[in-house]
Structures are given as structure tokens and as C-alpha cells.
Amino acid sequence: MSVKLSSYVWDGCASAGMKLTSVAIMARLADFSNDEGVCWPSIETIARQLGAGESTVRTAIGKLEQDGWLTRQQRRSGNRNAPNIYRLNVAKLRKSALSHESDSDPSKSDASESSKKQEFHPPESGGDPSVTSKQEPSLKSKTPCQVAGQPDPEVILTEQARDVLTHLNQTTGSRFTTNKTSLEHIRARLREDFTVEELNLVIDYKSEEWRGTEQEQYIRPKTLFIPTNFAGYLQRASNWDKAGRPQRVNGKWLKQDSFSANHTPNYHIPAGFRGA
């Protein structure tokens, strides 16, 4: 978390007339960033923490990039997408924040001018001329606060696992809690570079396949994300997704050409027509 960037965001973005949603997104990115403005939270995490829709977050980030407040870089891990890398425009944020500060508090500029002209020197020790220090000794001995660098990967991993568990509960109507047992099966697959989207796809596929069957009771993190079966689940889920996500009725998948498959054409030529 960068305290400096958070301060710039709240002072600068708001004064620039930015919409509240965009200010909140910038503030959340600043919380994840180091002092250079670099971070990589997922869209799902930002949307969940702000209580906003994912499409709203994507649109707002696109506008922020267009206006020059940030840049983003897409990442891939093998054949899978990974969260974007965001780089906040620190120079623009600083300029906007400092401009707002000088405009809103004229006393600071007045003090600066008086210092230059040497017209005002406030006494620091009851007017004692022997005291010439310009700063209290206690301030010199203070050690500046250490700002955290890169976000903790385990924290990011846990946030992503929470997003997957939320999707499972919403899809199946379950109430799995964010305990260590439930999250660890999800985190294990994320550590293997599978994405949040891929885990959610497996949830969607197995929910459709097992709904209304005895297997429905096994739609849970321990079963869905078991290491020996997950790769196979994902492959079948990807094929199901490419086929348009057909429904499963009475133990059979409904296909787009189900009507033509069940309909036998009649090739009999009525009497009176050529070839009869």
C-alpha cells in the first residue's frame, strides 16, 4: 500500500472533476500499489470490494487509461490470462494534488513568499536569540515510515479464491464459508497458474452436468478442484463452453441440431410428380 499515492488520489482526482466511481477505483489501485504506482489486482477483486459490477469497473478503467491517469498491460501465463498490471501516472497525480493544495490553501503560498522576503521569522523559544534552529530537534530524530513494496502474492491469491467461492455459492445456492479448508483447494489450483475464469467455468459446467442427479451433492470445492481430476474437468468444460453451453436434460445434453437428429425425412414422391 502506498500512503503517498492514496493522498495524491484523494486530493488530485477529486479536484479534477473525476466521477466518484473512478475516484474509488483509483483509490483501490493506490492501496494495492507500491510507490511507483504498480499493482495487479483482478477486476473481480476490485468490483467485489467496491460493490460495483465488473463491466462498470472495466469501463471506468478504460476511461481512466484514455484520460492518462493510468496504463495497463495484459499478462498471460502459458495459455491462460492473468490479472492486468496497472501503472498509475504518479507524475499527473502529484501535479493535480499539489495544484489543488496550493489553490485551496493560500496561506501556504503566503508563508512561502514571506520566507523568501525574510519579512517574518517566528520566535522558536520565547524570543531567545541564542536559538537559531529552524526545526524542532524531535522532528529530526524521527524515522520515516516504511511503505510496503509489492502486494503480498498470498493476499492476492486469497482474494481471488474468495471470488471463486462466491461464484460457487451464487451458482449453486450453497453457503460455503471462507474457511481454510474450502479456500485451500481453490488456492492450490490458482498456484498452478489456473485462472479465476477457468475455475468459474468448471463450476458452471459441473453444476449443469450434475444438477438433479446423485452427483449434485458433490458440487463442492474439495470435489471440483481435486488435483487429479481438475484438468479433465476443465477440458470438458471448455468444449461445453465452445458448444454454446447446452443444457442437460434427463441425463443427456441438448444439442443445437436435436430437431434434425430426431426427424427422419420422407423421400416418397407423390403420384403425378416426375419420377413417381
Cα(242)–Cα(105) distance, integer angstroms: 59
pLDDT of res. 186: 94
The residue among 199 and 148 whose pLDDT is bigger is 199
d(CA 29, CA 56): 15
List the beta bridge partners of residue 86: 39, 72
User: Which secondary-structure segment (H or E) carries 3?
Assistant: helix 3-8
Q: What's the rounded mean pLDDT across residues 157-178?
A: 90
pLDDT of residue 109: 46
CA 46 to chain centre: 4
Strands 70-77 and 252-253, sheet pairing: unpaired
Angle between the 43-50 and 153-172 helix axes, to the nearest 10 degrees? Answer: 70
pLDDT digits (tens, 9 = 90+) for 256-268: 554 334 444 454 5
**Contact present, 72 and 86 (Cβ < 8 Å):** yes
**For residue 139, what are the CA distances in angstroms to 119, 120, 123, 143, 166?**
25, 22, 17, 9, 48
Cell numbers standing for residue 36: 511507483
